[in-house]
């Protein structure tokens, strides 16, 4: 088991998920209950494509289109890489593509989350509208 690779994958996964979470949080704060319905609608497909139930990226069963959709979810790379490292006993050279994918998602999602939160703040100040789910 490659502990360094495991730590790298874990930290990149958490960082990418943080960016994705902040991106969705800005939508929830701006649109309230409407965004909650969209999140509920997306929850099960995200679980399905992320590899929680079964391997997606390292499996030969799924088409390239399914793998492409799944690769837009940070959890897919993280779970698949951790599965390869812990269960299959692979090393860092076997999860290099996962690390690159997670790094790209971090580089994309964190700036998008920052921009979305700034726009949400500006819009809520301009219109006096900031919605919380329980209101």
**pLDDT tens-digit readout, 7-64:** 999 999 999 999 999 998 888 877 777 777 888 888 899 998 898 988 888 888 889 9
Separation between Cα atoms, residue 104 and residue 121, nearest integer Å: 26
Whether 79 and 52 have beta carbons less than 8 Å apart is answered as yes
Residue 60 lies in a domain: yes
Residue 135 lies in a domain: no
Query: pLDDT grade, residue 91 (50/70/90)?
Result: very high
Residue 134 lies in a domain: no
Residue 28 lies in a domain: yes
Residue 107 lies in a domain: yes
| Number of domain units in the chain | 1
3-state secondary structure of 95: coil
3-state secondary structure of 19: helix
């Amino acid at each position: 088991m490659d502990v360094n690779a495991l730590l790298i994958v874990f930290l990149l996964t958490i960082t990418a998920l943080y960016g994705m979470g902040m991106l969705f949080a800005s939508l929830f704060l701006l649109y309230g209950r409407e965004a909650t319905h969209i999140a509920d609608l997306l929850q099960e497909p995200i679980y399905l494509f992320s590899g929680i139930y079964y391997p997606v990226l390292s499996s030969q069963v799924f088409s390239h289109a399914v793998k492409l959709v799944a690769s837009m979810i940070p959890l897919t790379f993280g779970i698949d890489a951790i599965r390869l490292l812990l269960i299959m006993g692979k090393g860092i050279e076997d999860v290099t593509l996962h690390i690159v994918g997670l790094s790209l998602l971090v580089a994309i999602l964190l700036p998008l989350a920052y921009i979305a939160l700034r726009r949400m703040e500006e819009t809520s100040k301009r219109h006096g509208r900031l919605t919380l789910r329980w209101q």
